Amino acid sequence: MRNILTATNRRAFLQQSACGFGSLALQQLLHQQHLKAIDSTAPSQLSAASPHFKPRAKRIIFLYMKGGPSQMDLFDYKPQLASGDGKGLPYKLPSNEETVGLDDTKLMAPISPFARRGESGLHISKWFEHLGRHADDICVLKAMHSDSPNHGVAERQLHTGNLFDVTPSMGAWLSYGLGNENDQLPAYITILPGEGERNYSSAFLPAIHQGTAIQEVGITAGRAPIRHLTDRSVSQDIQRQRVDLIKALNQEQLKRLDSDQEMEGVIQSFELAFRMQSQTPKLVDLANESKATKDLYGVDMPETNQFGRQCLLARRFAEAGVRFIQVTLNGWDHHNNIRSGLPKLVKQCDHPVAGLLTDLKQRGLLDDTLVLWGGEFGRTPHAQFGDGREHNPHGYAMWMAGGGVRGGMTHGTTDDFAYHAVEDSVHINDLHATLLHLMGIDHEKLTYEHHGRPFRLTDVAGRVVHEILS
């Protein structure tokens, strides 16, 4: 072993011996440089770790509505906006938004009818026929705000808490802070994420904490939904031998070092990838789910099949012990044709999301599963291109359910037109602080040293929104 290590550049050897496990971003991990955590309670590996305090939630399912859902058409009822339809703007546009394709400086009334739902009487769009039955389970954050009207920047801030730098995503921080509950699976899975790998990146954290992407949802157990999870050119016995060899080489190196998170992460990445080959295909195969369960999610129904499968997979991964599961639904960027486009997208979303909440409740999982729904920003109350709405980071809506959150309530308010957050506003940093808190983590203590300073998900800001906690 020592002769091999002496004669061969060990990093090049490991890079060439990836054994088909590229989905775990081993190349990134191999280029890390002896990074040390400054929080002694945070684990360097995926082994389960103790939280800072008793958690309310064991896992998070993030239903990411990519593009920016229109809050005044879905969850933020504004009768004043309806009465102002077609009138000039009663507010001044920010200078950086005046030239973003705006050709109609008139208010546009909400396009969806609203109704009071549940015992709580929450105002929810009538288009959410199924979700409305869960009005008493959800908490609507009506005064969310962030710092950029640009998709790429806003997405990065939503996922990582950072506007411009490449920093770890929410799921990566949770993986780093808590490890995994199931050693056959990663702590962080993202289902059909599309473009935007930086949004589920581990950045400077060990790469084992990066989100593992599920690339297909209409699959059987005989096919791997994770790129490069298996190497079909060799048998599992050969793969096992390769993993054992690499592990032995790495452990030889570890003997020479007092502590090396990089090396330990490499060993665990190979081991986890090998173990995933047996469990992951079974989890993504929906063939054994009952017809009643599939119907609950809208599986095999024309408008809801794909997103229904995504949501059902999210429940299966949550039940199996994955800490953070992200499900992405694209298409909410309605600069035009919102009157026809938005109701179609709601129809894709409504049945599966309601099915997910129902299924979690029936299985006793909603109490310790936190469900988060929302996009990177909202939309403007004024029209764009006559039949659309522009990006709006100043005041928009997201909702949460389960996992220690009070149901049947709203928090915060926007102005009369749902444009600006004006009371009890919640910044993205506050949202992240609250998510970590519900998972038993003090957001100020979960830190990692990089380039000579400590980093955290909330950077130097963030407060826990205690008002919404049950």
CATH code of the domain containing 148: 3.40.720
Q: How many helices (H) and strands (E) does the chain have?
A: 13, 17
Instruction: Give me the number of domains the chain comprises.
Output: 1
| Full-model pTM | 0.83
Helix H or strand E encompassing 399? strand 396-401
Between strands 138-145 and 188-191, the pairing is unpaired
In a domain, 407, yes or no: yes
Q: What is the pLDDT of residues 121-140, one digit of tens each?
A: 999 999 999 999 999 999 99
pLDDT per residue as tens digits for the range 362-417: 999 999 999 999 999 999 999 998 899 999 999 999 999 999 999 999 999 999 99
Q: Say which range, 5-9, 63-67, 437-441, has the weakest mean pLDDT.
A: 5-9
Choose between 241 and 148: higher pLDDT: 148
Distance set, CA 226 to CA 14, 59, 192, 214 (Å): 21, 21, 10, 5
Q: Is residue 251 part of a domain?
A: no
Q: Which pLDDT does position 253 carry in this prediction?
A: 59
Express each pLDDT in 323-372 by its tens digit: 999 999 999 999 999 999 999 999 999 999 999 999 999 999 999 999 99
- 273 falls within a domain: no
* 418 vs 5, higher pLDDT: 418
In a domain, 402, yes or no: yes
- What range defines the domain where residue 386 resides? 32-218+286-468
CA distance 292 to 276: 28
Among 225-234, 376-385, 433-442, 443-452, the range scoring the smallest mean pLDDT is 225-234
Across the range 108-118, mean pLDDT stands at 97
- Residue 462 included in any domain: yes
135: in domain: yes
| Residue 230 pLDDT > 60 | no
Interacting residues of 448 by C-beta distance below 8 A, sequence separation 6+: 35, 37, 38, 39, 42, 168, 176, 204, 205, 454, 455, 456
Is 228 within the bounds of a domain? no
pLDDT for the residue numbered 138? 98
